Homo-oligomer: A and B are copies of this chain.
């Protein structure tokens, strides 16, 4: 199977007619146009087999997730997705694998009218590196460095599900964090959170002009709030009791492991953001319309770092920092 068949396969599945794409897949490079009044938002995230997803993950889920983790970064900036490029490295030219990968990628791309505009396929250990592009009105990108003392801290969705989902994966089924009798339905729900993260694009768009800082929770809640704290020159204090957990999570995770997975588990791809106290109610009302629960979990304080208060209001000894690929 030649590289050119692969390119054609991706073109037929993942390209898309958009007025802002002058030249898509098939030349030395793509030619695109950014709308007047907008800035371009660009991010790159790579998934390596066995590092960022379990070996034997379904190809369609890998395709979905490779795009999703990037769209999550765009969401954290308040950007509207437009295009992506894909650098896919494959150990062999397995057509069925590539078709399923492309179908998972395409399924998410279609939800956001995103066009694949280029890429590269190479031979080597399975790696998918996506660069995603989106637009924000000039000056409206959400950043990490705008949190102010007194702001509220909120998160979308629930925390810890993906880490619990990882505990439910085949070979790791004896993971000590998972209740042996955990219902199959909970395992499936948690695994779906790991394999098919939902980038919170609509929430990010809604937070433009409202949130003072925003980040996606990919490294773990405390680690990612730590990035906001460091970039903004503030401290963040959150209450463990307020950190939202899903029903599946409560059913499947051993009680005394729940806080670790919620605070340090990576891969949830929810948004964590800060917002001025005076704007919280209006923002929550706007977000309620999105159907995605959003929860206030703490506040921005003077100082530095992240402090978590346990259910008795005492500062917790924090688990190790979140997901780091080089420690």
Known A51-B123, A123-B325: A216·B40 in contact at CB below 8 Å: no
Interface contact A44-B120, CB-CB below 8 Å: yes
How many copies of this chain?
Answer: 2
Q: In angstroms, how far is the closest chain B Cβ from the Cβ of A73? A: 4
Residue of B nearest to A34 (CB): B34
Interface contact B28-A216, CB-CB below 8 Å: yes
Interface contact B122-A48, CB-CB below 8 Å: yes
Interface contact A31-B141, CB-CB below 8 Å: yes
Residue of B nearest to A22 (CB): B39
**What DSSP secondary structure best describes chain A's contact surface?**
strand
Residue of B nearest to A47 (CB): B122
The residue in A23, A136, A215 that gathers the most chain B C-beta atoms within 10 A of its C-beta is A23
Question: Which one, B2, B34, B36, B326, contacts A324 given CB within 8 A?
Answer: B2
Interface contact B120-A129, CB-CB below 8 Å: yes
CB proximity to B under 8 Å, residues A129-181: 129, 131-134, 136, 138, 141, 143-145
Residue of B nearest to A126 (CB): B124
Interface contact A27-B119, CB-CB below 8 Å: no
> What 0/1 pattern do residues 209 to 243 of A give for CB contact below 8 A with B?
00000111000000000000001000000000000
Q: Is A96 an interface residue (CB 8 A)?
A: no
Contacts of A132 in B (CB 8 A): 29
The interface stretch among A83-91, A182-190, A254-262, A274-282 is A83-91
Q: Is A289 an interface residue (CB 8 A)?
A: no
> In the docked arrangement, what's the CA distance between A47 and B120, Å?
10
Interface contact A28-B122, CB-CB below 8 Å: no
The 5 A-B pairs with the shortest beta carbon distances in the complex, nearest first, are A29-B43, A48-B124, A87-B129, A28-B76, A131-B131
